[in-house]
Amino acid sequence: MLKNSLNVRPSGGGAGAFIEGVDLNTLDDDSAGVIREALGEHGVVFFRDQAIAPEKHMAMAEFFGGINVNRFFAHVDGYPKIAEVRKEPDQKGNIGGGWHTDHSYDQIPAMGSILLARETPPDGGDTIFANMYTAYESLSDGLKATLQSLNAVHSSRHVFGAKPKSPLQRESLKGRIGNQEAAQQDAIHPVVIKHPISGKQALYVNPGFTLHFEGWTEEESKPLLEYLYKNAARPEHTYRFQWADGSIAFWDNRASWHYALNDYHGHRRLMHRITVEGVPVGR
C-alpha cells in the first residue's frame, strides 16, 4: 500500500505535469516508481509545498540514481552534492538564462535535476520548459528521416571554459561558477534519441551546448539547428512554471529543455539543485 496518494495532473501546457498528494520526506519505492514513469512521459514534474531538509533532498534524488557532483557550480555549505543556484539583488546575470539541456556536453549525460526553491522573489524568476517529444513529433516525415541519421557535437568550453562566449556574463557570475579547467570535454550524441524510460523519440540538440552536426561545419549546421530551435521553442511545446518557496521541478534532460527567466533584478533568488546520474543516450 502506498504511503502517499499520488495524483499526476498534466500542466495544461505543452510540457510537464504536477504531482500531488505526496510528501517527499516519506518517499518510498512505489511512489518513486510513479514519479519516474510520469517524468518519462511528461519530461518534467512539479511539486508544491515541500518542506524538505538537504538530507531529505539527497535521499529523494537517490531513489532515481547516483548523485552527480557538479564540477562548475558552487555548492551549498556542508553539502557538496547540492549545487547552489543563487542570484543576489545587486547581480545582473543569472544562471541558466537561455534555452539549454544540462550536461549534454558529457559522454554520459545526467538524467535530470531536482531543483528546490529556497527563496523566491516576489515576482518573476519563472522557468520555462520545452517538450522535446512534441518538438520532434511536429517535424515533417522528411526532416525526421534526415535527422535520424545525424549525430551532433556538444561542448561546455564556450560556456564554462576559460574563454566563454560572453565575458560579460562570466564576470557577472563570478563566485557562482568556477573550475574553468574542467571545461575541456566534448561529446557526440544522436540528434534523435530513444528515451530510456518512455521509449519515445526525442530531439536531442540544444542552443546552449550543441556546436554542430558531426561531419558538418558550424556554418553548414547553423540554418538547420536554428530551425529546430525555433520550432522547439514554439508556445505549444512549452510550459512556464511559477516558483514559490518549497516548490520543486524535477526535469529529465533527455526529454526537455529549460530557460530560467532573468526578470527579478533587485531581489534575491536561491535554489538548491541536485543532479541525478544518467545512462548513455542512443537511438
Catalytic residue (one of 154, 170, 254, 273): 273
Catalytic residue (one of 102, 170, 189, 269): 102
The reply to whether 100 belongs to the active site is: yes
φ, ψ of residue 71 in degrees (nearest 5):
-90, -5
Instruction: Give the strand pairing for 210-213 and 248-252.
Output: unpaired
Please spell the DSSP secondary structure of 160-224, one letter per residue: HSSS-S-HHHHHHTBTTB--GGG---EEEEESEEE-TTT--EEE---TTTEEEETTS-HHHHHHH
Catalytic residue (one of 36, 237, 254, 258): 258
Q: Which three cell numbers stand for residue 208?
A: 546552449
Question: What is the separation, in whole angstroms, between the first and last Cα of the chain?
Answer: 37
Catalytic residue (one of 42, 100, 176, 195): 100
The reply to whether 273 belongs to the active site is: yes
The reply to whether 141 belongs to the active site is: no
The reply to whether 48 belongs to the active site is: no
Q: Where in the sequence numbering do the catalytic residues fall?
A: 100, 102, 258, 273
